[in-house]
C-alpha cells in the first residue's frame, strides 16, 4: 500500500513539473503492417494509429491529464492509465508498466484479484483504502469499478459518500452504477422484462424472451459469449442441470451477448449445448437487466418472477434441485 501511495505522489510531482509527453513501446506478435489503435475509452476517441513492424510498435504524444486507454485491435488489446512517461505494453501477454499511476493500478489489481470470489470483505477493504486516498483521480475510479463486480453494497457506499463527481462521471464507474440500478429494478421478486431479438432464433426468425419465460416453466437463462472462458467453464454445470431436470417444469435458455453470430454458431457446435438458444442479443440484456459481466445466470419462476440472479458453478444444480423439490 505504501508503494502505491508513493507512486501516486511521484506521478503528481511529474505533472506539476509540466511534463506531458508520453511514449508507448509495444510488443504484438502479428503480421507486419497490422494497424494498432490507441483508444481513449472514456471518450470513445481514437487518439492515434500505428502499425506493427517486426513484432513491435510505438506511440508518442502528449497528454494533459491521465486517461484510461487501450492499445491493440479488436479483442487483442490491453488497457491501462495513460500519463506522462514511458509505458511498456505487451499485447501478447496483456501486461503494461513503467509509469507511476499504471504501476500503482497494476499493484492494486494484482492484490485485488488474488482474493477468491467469496473474499468480498478483503476486496472491499483494499478498494476502500485506495479510493479514499484517491477520491478525485483516475486510479480511484478504475479501482472503484473493479469493486462493483465483487461487492455492490461496498461500491455504492464509496460511490455515494467518498468520491467526487469527476470519478462518478468516469464511464466505467457510471456504467457500473447504471447496471446496479438496472439490477435493482430486475432483482429477485420482480417480474421479468420482455424483449425481442430480431433474427435471434437459430433459424433466423425473431424471438422474444416471453417465448420461454412466463410460460409455466422454471427457466434458467444463461448469458454467455463464444469468447468468454468463464462462460465455457459453467457449461458442464448447466448441461448436467438440463439433463437431469429439463421437462414439463424446467428448461434452459442460453442467450449469446456481445458476440458475432458465426462465432456463436461455431462455439455451439463445439460445446454441445442442446437446449434453447437465442443468438445476437448483443447489448439488449445489459440495457434491460444490467448484465455487465458474463457469465450471468437468472432463474425465473413459472409466472415470470425473477427468483435468483448470479448463480455460478455448483450453485446452479443445487438451487434448481431445491426449488423443484419444494
pLDDT at 16 over 70: no
Residue 286 confidence (pLDDT): 84
Establish whether the linkage from the previous residue to 286 is cis, with ω within 30° of 0: no
Chosen domain end from 185, 204, 221: 185
Residues 289 and 251 in one domain: yes
Residue 188 confidence (pLDDT): 94
What distance lies between CA 165 and its chain's CA centroid?
22
| Element containing residue 309 per DSSP (H, E) | strand 306-309
Q: Is residue 55 part of a domain?
A: yes
CB 95 within 8 A of CB 78: yes
CB 222 within 8 A of CB 257: no
Residues 202 and 290 in one domain: yes
Residues 211 and 287 in one domain: yes
Q: How far, in Å, CA of 288 to CA of 301, rounded? A: 18
CB 237 within 8 A of CB 318: no
Q: At what angle do helices 120-133 and 100-114 cross, to 10 degrees?
A: 160
Q: What is the pLDDT of residues 108-133, one digit of tens each?
A: 988 988 998 778 899 999 999 999 99
Residue 6 confidence (pLDDT): 42
Domain containing residue 47: 11-99
Give the three-class secondary structure for 128. Answer: helix
Q: Is residue 108 part of a domain?
A: no
Q: Is residue 256 part of a domain?
A: yes
Q: How far, in Å, CA of 278 to CA of 286, rounded? A: 15
Residues 69 and 136 in one domain: no
Residues 139 and 247 in one domain: no
Q: Is residue 191 part of a domain?
A: no
Average pLDDT score, the chain: 90
CB 232 within 8 A of CB 271: yes
Q: Is residue 32 part of a domain?
A: yes
CB 250 within 8 A of CB 324: yes
Residues 208 and 305 in one domain: yes
Residue 17 confidence (pLDDT): 45
Query: What φ, ψ does residue 128 adopt, rounded to 5°?
Result: -55, -45
CB 33 within 8 A of CB 52: yes
Q: Is residue 190 part of a domain?
A: no
Residues 52 and 143 in one domain: no
Q: Are strands 21-27 and 85-90 parallel, antiparallel or unpaired?
A: parallel
Q: What is the pLDDT of residues 219-258, one digit of tens each?
A: 999 999 999 999 999 999 999 999 999 999 999 999 999 9
Chosen domain end from 157, 185, 213: 185
Q: How far, in Å, CA of 258 to CA of 264, rounded? A: 10
Burial of 106 (0-12, 13-18, 19+ CB in 10 A): middle
Q: What is the pLDDT of residues 145-157, one digit of tens each?
A: 989 888 889 999 9
Q: Is residue 105 part of a domain?
A: no
Q: Is residue 311 part of a domain?
A: yes
Residue pointed to by grid coordinates 433459424: 203
Q: What is the pLDDT of residues 45-82, one digit of tens each?
A: 999 999 999 999 999 999 988 999 999 998 899 999 99
Domain CATH for 19? 2.60.40
Q: Which residues pair with 61 in a beta bridge?
A: 22
**Total domains, the chain:** 3
Residue 18 confidence (pLDDT): 52
Q: CA–CA distance from 102 to each of 37, 98, 154 (Å)?
A: 19, 7, 24
Residues 37 and 156 in one domain: no
Residues 149 and 78 in one domain: no
CB neighbour list of residue 178: distance below 8 Å, 6 or more residues apart = 290
Amino acid at each position: 500500500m505504501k508503494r502505491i501511495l508513493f507512486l501516486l505522489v511521484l506521478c503528481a510531482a511529474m505533472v506539476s513539473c509540466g511534463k506531458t509527453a508520453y511514449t508507448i513501446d509495444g510488443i504484438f506478435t502479428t503480421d507486419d503492417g497490422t494497424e494498432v489503435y490507441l483508444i481513449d475509452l472514456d471518450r470513445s476517441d481514437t487518439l492515434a494509429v500505428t502499425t506493427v513492424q517486426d513484432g513491435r510498435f510505438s506511440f508518442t504524444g502528449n497528454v494533459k491529464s491521465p486517461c484510461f486507454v487501450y492499445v491493440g485491435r479488436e479483442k487483442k488489446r490491453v488497457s491501462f492509465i495513460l500519463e506522462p512517461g514511458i509505458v511498456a505494453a505487451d499485447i501478447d501477454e496483456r501486461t503494461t508498466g513503467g509509469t507511476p499511476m499504471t504501476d500503482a493500478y497494476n499493484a492494486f489489481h494484482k492484490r485485488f484479484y488474488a482474493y477468491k470470489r467469496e473474499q468480498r470483505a478483503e476486496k472491499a477493504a483494499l478498494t476502500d483504502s485506495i479510493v479514499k486516498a484517491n477520491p478525485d483521480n483516475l486510479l480511484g475510479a478504475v479501482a472503484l469499478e473493479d469493486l462493483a463486480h465483487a461487492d455492490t453494497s461496498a461500491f455504492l457506499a464509496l460511490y455515494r459518500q467518498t468520491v467526487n463527481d469527476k470519478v462518478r462521471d468516469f464511464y466505467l464507474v457510471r456504467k457500473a452504477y447504471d447496471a446496479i440500478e438496472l439490477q435493482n429494478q430486475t432483482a429477485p421478486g420482480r417480474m421479468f422484462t420482455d424483449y425481442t431479438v430480431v433474427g435471434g432464433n437459430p433459424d433466423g426468425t425473431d424471438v422474444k424472451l416471453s417465448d420461454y419465460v412466463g410460460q409455466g416453466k422454471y427457466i434458467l437463462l444463461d448469458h454467455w459469449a463464444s469468447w468468454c472462458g468463464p462462460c465455457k467453464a459453467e457449461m458442464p454445470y448447466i448441461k448436467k442441470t438440463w439433463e437431469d431436470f429439463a421437462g414439463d417444469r424446467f428448461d434452459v435458455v442460453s442467450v449469446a451477448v456481445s458476440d458475432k453470430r458465426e462465432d456463436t454458431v461455431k462455439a455451439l457446435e463445439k460445446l454441445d449445448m442442446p437446449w434453447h438458444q437465442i443468438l445476437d442479443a448483443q447489448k439488449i440484456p445489459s440495457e434491460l437487466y444490467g448484465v455487465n459481466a458474463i457469465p450471468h445466470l437468472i432463474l425465473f419462476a413459472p409466472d415470470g418472477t425473477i427468483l435468483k440472479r448470479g448463480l455460478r458453478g455448483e450453485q446452479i444444480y443445487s438451487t434448481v434441485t431445491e426449488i423443484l423439490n419444494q
